[in-house]
Structure 1
Amino acid sequence: MSKDISLMEQQAKQKVKTYTFEEAYEASIKYFKGDEMAAKVWVSKYALKDSFGTIYELTPDDMHWRLAREIARIERKYPNPMSEEEVYHLLKDFKYIVPQGGPMTGIGNKFQIASLSNCFVIGNNNADSYGGIMKVDEEQVQLMKRRGGVGHDLSHIRPKGSPVLNSALTSTGVVPFMERYSNSTREVAQDGRRGALMLSISIKHPDAEKFIDAKMEQGKITGANVSVKIDDEFMRAAIEGKPYVQQYPIDSSNPKFRQEINASELWKKIVHNAWKSAEPGILFWDTIIRESVPDCYADLGYKTVSTNPCGEIPLCPYDSCRLLALNLYSYVDNPFSPQATFNFELFKKHVHAAQRMMDDIIDLELEKIDAILEKIANDPEDDEIKSVERNLWLKIRRKTIEGRRTGIGITAEGDMLAALNLRYGSDDAIDFAVEVHKSLAVEAYRSSVYTAKERGAFPIFNAQREKDNPFINRIKAEDEELYKEMTTYGRRNIALLTIAPTGTTSLMTQTTSGIEPVFMPYYKRRRKVNPNDKNVKVSFVDKVGDSWEEFNVFHHKFLVWMEVNGYNPEEVKNYTDEQLSELVQKSPYYKATSNDVDWLSKVRMQGMIQKWVDHSISVTVNLPEDITEEMVAKVYQTAWESGCKGCTVYREGSRDGVLVTNKKEKEQATSSAFPSKRPPVLECDVIRFKNSHEDWVAFVGLYDGRPYEIFTGRTEDDVLPIPKAVTKGRIIKIKDENGSRYDFQYVDKYGYTNTIGGLSHMFNKEYWNYAKLISGVLRNGMPIPDVVNLVSSLRLDNESINSWIAGVERSLRRYIPDGTKAKPGKKCPECGSESLIYQEGCLTCKNCGHSKCG
């Protein structure tokens, strides 16, 4: 850590009250009226912290005052400012306006130098060279360390087998670089966090099929989401059974390479892989470009090339976006009653305020970018080393000033419709939802025009450029007077709207997420209990003799429906499953859960709402396990025909067993994966992490990208002078007169190779004996989830060894492919469900969202 950061944090800490995790957690439970999950999410992810994890806010109310102070400070720079109190009351209790992610953690945070942007896209002007590819790799890492999600496109990389003017003679194609970028994403991970990456490619690229297949191999491309950019010509060719031409360069009128393919066969491959593994996602690229307002300025550097990791913000290179959501449920007056209505007047007023606040957050982001640039200037590294990072942020700064892009969206769509007694997915519900989003679009654009009157338009605004844009013309058709004002005064922001997957945000608003329907109106949770305690109801005793109490947990707004309709929630908690089922049937949540809603109706709804969202919509179509590939194809085709900009499907259970067709194949694959004798040299990952507040390091030897051996221990116990920037190296087995030893080699920033002798002797001797045990089962091909389960079961009466075991477990988890199910019988500690899967190295419950990262 640099001296600059230490000094900054020391100054910021002066006369500032701090809290323990337990203090903030208990206070936040009261704030959220007993909702432990919401409290845990807020304290863990959004409470103001420094880089040491010290907490400076007790409840979300402290956070909302922090945000209000900073936004009001920017407001005072301009005419007719909103006061701090006005902003606070819009944010208070997550009721109306909710900044998301980066803005919530970063605004007013003087302890950390990080961007406020949720989304970035980078590029290299189609430079197909190692220099260009490495530059994108470094830019990706530099953005991720500032907590940004990153997307970039690979369509500029020449296809496999193309001639190159170097010693390789021919190009390796896109797949090796997918692995490089994926690995870089994983390297940024620290303390349970991991960067988010989207990789895309045009269907027109000759390596598109290889790109589509890349993630089907176990352990490959685990640090990235992948999406294919599909054009209208390909869709028509696939549906009509016609040939399709791929070429490189993809946009060239005189391509170097050209091949004709069977579009239907490639389409079946895309559908099959998505059916089997939930990837690739699909981006309907012609729709994205045709509808894109920023692409009216493509020749000025605003040509859209890829999207952020969740797909809701298509961006040009070096542009970024910050996200904010309006809580739609809060605009329903008399919810769940016959008198329920949507308060459009209040909603429109708040849309204006939200868009104005988003513009303020752009100014706050520019302050953050200037702080990042100042830190880069003060870093002791050579200017040559710092140049890529500095130039990256200068480009982002320019795009931020020129376009002033915003990402205003919504959450609680499902609860809003239920509160209005409309069933999600019905024609009436879809029509009403479209009306709400139309109002949001028109009023956000009106607010941007009004703000342009007071603050000036975004610098490159040109009404003539936008006159034929379909989205702008919808605004014009809806409100001719607004369009006239826009051509006169301009608009403050180049693009304004999105719908993001508001996962943790919805936990704090205690509503449904984003545009999605309710997941379940209720679910069962289990709590381990002492059977001798009084007033405890033991529901069952498990195989190992532990007693459990089982109880129902209700979706927050379903509880409101109960109360409005005369039910006592305390009594309902004791209902039988049959009684609860009958109760749900009486509610507007009946036949309106994520598994109930008709899939085709959902994508049609997405397409109709997309007409009023100038960026895009992140939504997943949940499908049952027995769905056919033909139906997946139908979902995709309907999404394209309906005007969706993208589509992602998830078939229940599709992440489990992605890579094998049966158990026998899996056994054969694992038993023959490793050589019988240890190779003399292995590639190595260096993983640093916190373990019980101690600094630990792990050296994981890899064979074909899979863990083969592991050495780990506390960093203060070793004498390893390895720079923290080193995340890769190799382990060399040496035999001499003293026996065998394992040396670690790495290349430093100056290009010198350094060797550290005897990894096996650097750590506690007790650790080494167990390391040989774990390495032995790894080398014999035991699947990583099973190795993790074995390690976690080694609980001994030795605190030091148990800490080491936790370190090994934590290190190996990151090699488990996302979507892998936990071992049978393993239950969620929050709800007791067995719906546990590994996601980004963490055990995550699909039922209640609880996550544990080792």
Structure 2
Amino acid sequence: MEVTQIDQKAEKSKKTYTNDEAYESALAYFKGDELAARVWVNKYALKDSEGVIYELNPDEMHRRLAREVARVEKKYPNPMSEDELYALFKDFKYIVPQGGPMAGIGNPFQIASLSNCFVIGNEGNSDSYGGIMKIDQEQVQLMKRRGGVGHDLSHIRPKGSPVKNSALTSTGIVPFMERYSNSTREVAQDGRRGALMLSVSIQHPDSESFIDAKLQQGKITGANVSVKIDDDFMRSIVDGKPYKQQYPINSNNPSHVKQIDASGLWGKIVHNAWKSAEPGILFWDTIIRESVPDSYADQGYRTVSTNPCGEIPLCPYDSCRLIAINLYSYVENPFTPEAKFNFDLFKKHVAYAQRIMDDIIDLELEQIDGILNKIKEDPEADEVKRVERNLWTNIRNKAVEGRRTGVGITAEGDMLAALNIRYGTANATDFSIEVHKALALSAYRSSVDLARDRGPFPIYDYNKEAKNPFIKRLFKSDPKLAEDMKAFGRRNIALLTIAPTGTTSLMTQTSSGIEPVFMPVYRRRRKVNPNDPEIRVDFVDEVGDSWEEYTVFHHKFVTWMEANGHPTTKNYSKQELDQLIEASPYYKATSNDVDWLNKVRMQGGVQKWVDHSISVTINLPADATEELVAELYVEAWKSGCKGVTVYRDGSRAGVLISDDKKKEEEQEKATFSKKRPEVLEADVVRFQNNKEKWIAFVGLMDGRPYEIFTGLADDEDGILLPKSVQKGLIIKNRDDKGNSRYDFCFENKRGYKTTIEGLSHKFDKEYWNYAKLISGVLRHGMEIGDAVHLVAGLQLDSESINTWKNGVERALKKYIPNGTKANRGRCESCNSENLTYQEGCLICTDCGSSKCG
């Protein structure tokens, strides 16, 4: 800790910058790219806990990274210099440390891990409450250090299993999904929430409940979910045969066994993914069969789950750091007939990337030692600190033993376009496989060379790996590699991955990861002052705000335009833009119009040269069928993919607004009839405010809110309503004095109709007055998002009324269609105005951060 304190003092003596100064410098660095500048300042610029910034632009960050990696290099033979390393990092051109490494290396102000990915678990897969709570605490401890976490739930007893406590039977998997999801939402990571992956085996008797858990709005919103599907299940689908589920899933003497119709469960997986983009699928037998670390399963390296995006399958307490190689930068003479890929330079840089990754493990061990020292010095009792201390001790041991790395790529889509190859074609697939084969062989060669100079990872055993399909593939392509690996060993237990590279690609100004370009040209809006004579108003929304629309070109599309003589400053019409795109290598090569089956086959071909996994999403149009989703899944399994996710346009919050959708947005908003019907269908929405139970009755017309009644539930003055009641009717009646009243009618479990009379009199009078105001604006057709904004803006003095107001916001947010753009506000992480609603939460489509409430 003394070193850290000295370094902090040294850093604090350096020049500091305001947010505006750093942003302006970064804006110049990124040549006017506002989004890239904002992302860098908010997420990666060196700053202390008070937000004081110590780096003016990314060039200073790259010097910091080079300086720290060079310090580690000096420990080993033939060290690389700081200048050599800086040249590789500079301008995000060749090698890009991702996320944790970029923000954390050389950062004396933050005691955090450099790892991007973690998986946790229990010895013996204990499903006791103590074991489950331990995992919950470990998850929180990792997330507060920036880590994304995954863990598997297949060890939890099925619902209804006998237990030796007062409950008598197990609650099953779903309640613990909610617990872990809620824990994720509670932990802030520099203005964003943590990331969590929950998985379960299709063999588990509760897997159907797991698959359905996220369909209910507001449930499990803090986790991604994936199903681990084995080959037997897929064969049952293809052959139309039944499938056996059991618990424990790997037991030769299970306590629970049942035969199921595999096609029924398969249909549910397909439907849910088609509807909501989840669950993802992990082809678990392929993962285990191809996993090099699983050669050491008897030494604690049995893979149990993946990180949140699925690209790193891991054993419990292992972690991984990520680096991306910018593939576009190896294309010489891009977008011209002379374009070619410089394989020699690429292979040389892959070797450097693997070496840098190994250095970053040493830097991570320093960080973990700092975390352990911090835990030791904390004034809490040892009993309180025990789980956290053991967690980081276990992670440190795995990092020392295996030295796992994650060398990956970004800009695959731009690389292919720059070579005039259309993404999704057979030629593109063949070339991508050639590139990733070269990457794998070069990285493994580098790891062997590092083992010769620095020593192999401590548990390396040539014979244990001899039958691994991935290793056999490498050796067949390079017999000399096999000889040298047998002689010297290998420095790292596993080396390669392909991650999403979301914010990384914003700074490389390229397409993301292995994905094609999302759109070469798209439209954005920015709010403007209509009184400014220099401003053009293109759109006025329903609340009167003015917006200017402007065309945004993908960076490398601009490079194509310049290479082919098309002016980049011209104000193109929609027709002219369409003609430009059609003439480019990006035509029919974007995420929404590539050949989906070919994309799956490409992923399977590339996967053969990636020892971890690939994060990839198959983007489908809104009219894609469930049958197509099922076909893609089967093809992915047959092609050798380790996992696959589908996203159907509109099933979740989108990323950008296409020109086709713009017309739909600009249509007049329908208004409801001002005369209230006597009977309305209604939803019952329950929520908690300040630990009090509240209830809302939301009258619906054409599926959207028309009126709302809400207040305290289950007290002597409130509403007593069975918890099973979720829907009913609101009927407008008159009391004995002729005054109007609103009754709620519902059907109980026995089929009898029950009526609660006078909703307007059941709640506090002040609640009712505000409810009439809100119902009035809903009935006149105000957009739900604007109604929520109206409620949020009410200036109320009473604490109880403010509590009520928050509840109304929550109730109404549930009805905002996923993908609806917020007309107000900015992202707290990247300052973007591109906010959309998803399951009642505001999601930033630029940086991915979310805000719920």
Whether the 8 Å CA contact 1:98–1:326 is kept in 2: the answer is yes
Change (3 A) 1:511 1:807: farther
Change (3 A) 1:374 1:564: same
Corresponding residue of 1:577 = 574
TM-score, normalised to structure 1, is 0.83
CA drift of 1:789 comes to 4.1
> Which one-letter code corresponds to 1:145 in the other structure?
K
Task: State yes or no: 1:673 paired with 2:673.
Answer: no
Change (3 A) 1:705 1:94: farther
Q: How does 1:200-211 map to 2 (within 5 A)?
A: 200-211=199-210
Whether the 8 Å CA contact 2:604–2:639 is kept in 1: the answer is yes
Change (3 A) 1:795 1:202: closer
Corresponding residue of 2:161 = 162
Partners of 1:806 and 1:704 lie apart in 2 by 12
> Which one-letter code corresponds to 2:97 in the other structure?
P
1:14 to 3, 12, 15: 12
Q: Which moved more, 1:768-777 or 1:169-178?
A: 768-777
> Which one-letter code corresponds to 1:319 in the other structure?
D
Whether the 8 Å CA contact 1:194–1:840 is kept in 2: the answer is no
Q: How does 1:131-530 map to 2 (within 5 A)?
A: 131-189=130-188, 192-530=191-529
TM-score, normalised to structure 2, is 0.83
1:672 partner SS: strand
Deviations for 1:511-569, whole angstroms, at most 9, x for unmatched residues?
Answer: 00000000001111234445565554444555555554332110000000000111110
2:66 partner SS: helix
1:590 to 584, 587, 592: 587
Change (3 A) 1:539 1:159: closer
Deviations for 1:316-375, whole angstroms, at most 9, x for unmatched residues?
Answer: 000000011000000000000000000111101100100000000000000000000001
Partners of 1:290 and 1:370 lie apart in 2 by 34
> Which one-letter code corresponds to 1:584 in the other structure?
I
Corresponding residue of 1:650 = 647
Partners of 2:92 and 2:805 lie apart in 1 by 39
Q: How does 1:87-102 map to 2 (within 5 A)?
A: 87-102=85-100
> Which one-letter code corresponds to 2:593 in the other structure?
D
Q: Which moved more, 1:159-168 or 1:385-394?
A: 159-168
Change (3 A) 1:28 1:264: same
CA drift of 1:821 comes to 2.8
Deviations for 1:356-405, whole angstroms, at most 9, x for unmatched residues?
Answer: 00000000000000000001111111111111110111110000000000
> Which one-letter code corresponds to 1:447 in the other structure?
S
Q: Which moved more, 1:541-550 or 1:375-384?
A: 541-550
1:120 to 118, 121, 126: 118
Corresponding residue of 1:604 = 601
Change (3 A) 1:604 1:734: closer
CA drift of 1:5 comes to 13
Whether the 8 Å CA contact 1:336–1:420 is kept in 2: the answer is yes
Corresponding residue of 1:740 = none
CA drift of 1:187 comes to 1.3
Partners of 2:769 and 2:140 lie apart in 1 by 35
Whether the 8 Å CA contact 1:161–1:170 is kept in 2: the answer is yes
Whether the 8 Å CA contact 1:312–1:500 is kept in 2: the answer is yes
CA drift of 1:833 comes to 10
1:98 partner SS: strand
CA drift of 1:216 comes to 1.1
CA drift of 1:51 comes to 1.8
> Which one-letter code corresponds to 1:159 in the other structure?
P
Deviations for 1:126-153, whole angstroms, at most 9, x for unmatched residues?
Answer: 1121111111111111111111000001
Task: State yes or no: 1:56 paired with 2:92.
Answer: no
Partners of 1:96 and 1:775 lie apart in 2 by 58
Partners of 2:683 and 2:839 lie apart in 1 by 25
Partners of 1:356 and 1:174 lie apart in 2 by 42
Q: How does 1:72-111 map to 2 (within 5 A)?
A: 72-111=70-109
Partners of 2:767 and 2:52 lie apart in 1 by 34
1:408 partner SS: strand
Change (3 A) 1:299 1:819: farther
Partners of 1:819 and 1:351 lie apart in 2 by 46
CA drift of 1:792 comes to 2.5
Corresponding residue of 1:741 = none
Corresponding residue of 2:843 = 843
Corresponding residue of 1:46 = 44
CA drift of 1:703 comes to 5.5
Deviations for 1:59-103, whole angstroms, at most 9, x for unmatched residues?
Answer: 111111111111000000100000011111100010000011100
Corresponding residue of 2:760 = none
CA drift of 1:794 comes to 5.6
Change (3 A) 1:822 1:245: closer
Whether the 8 Å CA contact 2:693–2:714 is kept in 1: the answer is no
Change (3 A) 1:45 1:841: farther
CA drift of 1:656 comes to 7.3
> Which one-letter code corresponds to 2:235 in the other structure?
R
> Which one-letter code corresponds to 1:143 in the other structure?
L
Partners of 2:790 and 2:312 lie apart in 1 by 43
Change (3 A) 1:456 1:623: same
Partners of 2:172 and 2:337 lie apart in 1 by 61
Task: State yes or no: 1:636 paired with 2:633.
Answer: yes
Whether the 8 Å CA contact 2:792–2:806 is kept in 1: the answer is no
2:390 partner SS: helix
Partners of 1:832 and 1:188 lie apart in 2 by 22
Partners of 1:629 and 1:601 lie apart in 2 by 18
CA drift of 1:39 comes to 0.3
1:260 partner SS: strand
> Which one-letter code corresponds to 2:24 in the other structure?
E
Partners of 2:538 and 2:774 lie apart in 1 by 39
Whether the 8 Å CA contact 2:834–2:844 is kept in 1: the answer is no
Whether the 8 Å CA contact 1:788–1:809 is kept in 2: the answer is no
Partners of 1:852 and 1:296 lie apart in 2 by 39
CA drift of 1:191 comes to 6.0
Whether the 8 Å CA contact 2:818–2:839 is kept in 1: the answer is no
Corresponding residue of 2:620 = 623
Deviations for 1:489-524, whole angstroms, at most 9, x for unmatched residues?
Answer: 000000000000011110000000000000001111
Whether the 8 Å CA contact 1:792–1:809 is kept in 2: the answer is no
Partners of 1:364 and 1:474 lie apart in 2 by 32
Unaligned segments of structure 1, at least 5 residues: 658-662, 675-681, 685-698, 708-730, 737-767
Deviations for 1:801-827, whole angstroms, at most 9, x for unmatched residues?
Answer: 9xx999987997799679953657838
Deviations for 1:685-742, whole angstroms, at most 9, x for unmatched residues?
Answer: xxxxxxxxxxxxxx464569999xxxxxxxxxxxxxxxxxxxxxxx999999xxxxxx
Whether the 8 Å CA contact 1:792–1:805 is kept in 2: the answer is no
Q: What is the root-mean-square deviation in Å for CA atoms of aligned residues?
A: 3.8
> Which one-letter code corresponds to 1:671 in the other structure?
D
Partners of 2:428 and 2:322 lie apart in 1 by 26
Whether the 8 Å CA contact 1:527–1:829 is kept in 2: the answer is no
Unaligned segments of structure 2, at least 5 residues: 655-671, 673-678, 699-711, 718-763
> Which one-letter code corresponds to 1:605 in the other structure?
M
CA drift of 1:7 comes to 7.1
Partners of 2:529 and 2:354 lie apart in 1 by 52
Whether the 8 Å CA contact 1:103–1:322 is kept in 2: the answer is yes
Query: How many percent of aligned residue pairs carry the same amino acid?
Result: 64
Corresponding residue of 1:67 = 65
Change (3 A) 1:791 1:457: same
1:569 partner SS: coil
Partners of 2:311 and 2:262 lie apart in 1 by 27
1:49 partner SS: coil
Change (3 A) 1:799 1:669: closer
Change (3 A) 1:526 1:654: closer
Partners of 2:330 and 2:797 lie apart in 1 by 55
Change (3 A) 1:817 1:331: farther
